[in-house]
Structure 1
């Protein structure tokens, strides 16, 4: 294990040197400016955080990362080196409670995803001597085979900081549910919760797809959430304040898809008109709306898929008119078209849109936890 650790420490130092050597000065400068836009870093951990993020996760202009460039341009790496460094595009960030410490490793319980990580340090066997069970570490981990390596200087806190750090962990979990889904148990809970919420939605509205005037969305969603709370429990719904584009839209489609979850789609009624009458594609307003739905990489493919499923022949006409491709066939080429414009939505299994209630979230929101 120590030989693997020693090699990981060398490669980590080489990667950081590669990232900060000057060749990426412009890109790194942008990242530093973003991290330090409001204030100077408070300590070493905060100062190194953007560098570590840049080395492992920042997308360069070509879409690759510093890790990709390092692997492509560093001679002498053997297969084990390549596999290890390639795995470093996975970074676990969190608020970790120290569970156990020995000379070489520390067991950390992540309050964000509720998983335990056995972690090593690049600072030698005595690096964890100041730590005791019950203390907290806020930091980043990268893979080390089946174990983990602390990736950047962590912020260490005494047990007395627990209440504050539980709140930090809850906010991280709510802001980044994909981090929570690293835990397969929590992922399964989220999928089940999403299925239960979808059943409530269809009970309340009579279907999993409805179209509302934008001005009515807040009131209707408030009623649905009250119904959901009555059926499933949970805190009472907060005031609903839809984003301005939704509230101002003539129509909004609400689709609670079995896999993709609940989504809100502005001007969905107009999009329906187009798929009902493909001849409308010659009108600029309809073309522009369809183009925005197709080419917006952050827009789910679900609304286009749902409309096309109703009548694939009409969908073929709609996209043939938009693309100027006579003979376009939705059933043959529709998914390829969506994948080309929305690759992120097809990169892996869709994650739930429901965040499971972790212990940190429950404590932060004052919710009871099931025993």
Structure 2
């Protein structure tokens, strides 16, 4: 009798539970932590101006660039007394100093370039003779107006260091000095120019000096032209000074044409407005081959035509082995 009773009681309890049963989502039964369970203190902002000290290592923009080179060239040849192939014992030494400074800021550019060259040669049974002598100082200020064009003004000085002599034979047949043909500031040239410049890159440029003036000086009394000598360096007898107004074209090239091979040249055309059909021309070119960092071989030449100096073209050529030290290296 008890078993049916317990069975009936269990059925009643299960029915009651089934009547009161509800569906629950397990995710809802999981404990969700409070989002602010970890309290973080938020500091108050304290904004105030701070003065920074100027550092002792403060960087500055340098607008100047400088290049310098010092060189010595030498040539020597000697022959024994019984040498049947012909030849003359000789030795020559040349010194040179080049310096260039460049200032570039925005569209303004200033360049100054100084070239000093001097050399002498001694042949057997002859007096020493100059084989190189030049002072050249060029200054140019330009303002760029487009990518490749600029307005410029320039000032150039040219002369030489030493006396230039003429040579001949004395009564005994020995080599002797027969006269003087040039000296420092005899002649000396000062050229001012104003115009436009075309510069497509840093290795080549052309100046067109539409407004150019050149002064020629003779400051050695022995070289002042006379009626007997006639005009000298374009200066009339009895005068020491001449001023020319002219059109001038000046082209520069300084380019590495191969590894360790550099070509540097300067061409100048000067046409006096009063003698525009007979301009003067001068071309200076130097080809330098670097054998080592210090040793180089140079081939240089000058081609000059100026009817006031001589009616024909003048040329000069030099091949030399020398030492060259450059800063920066």
Normalised-by-shorter TM-score class: under 0.3
Give the TM-score of the pair, scaled to structure 2: 0.19
Of structures 1 and 2, the one scoring higher in RCO (CA 8 A, sep 6+) is 1
Structure holding more helix per residue: 1
Give the TM-score of the pair, scaled to structure 1: 0.18
Structure holding more strand per residue: 2
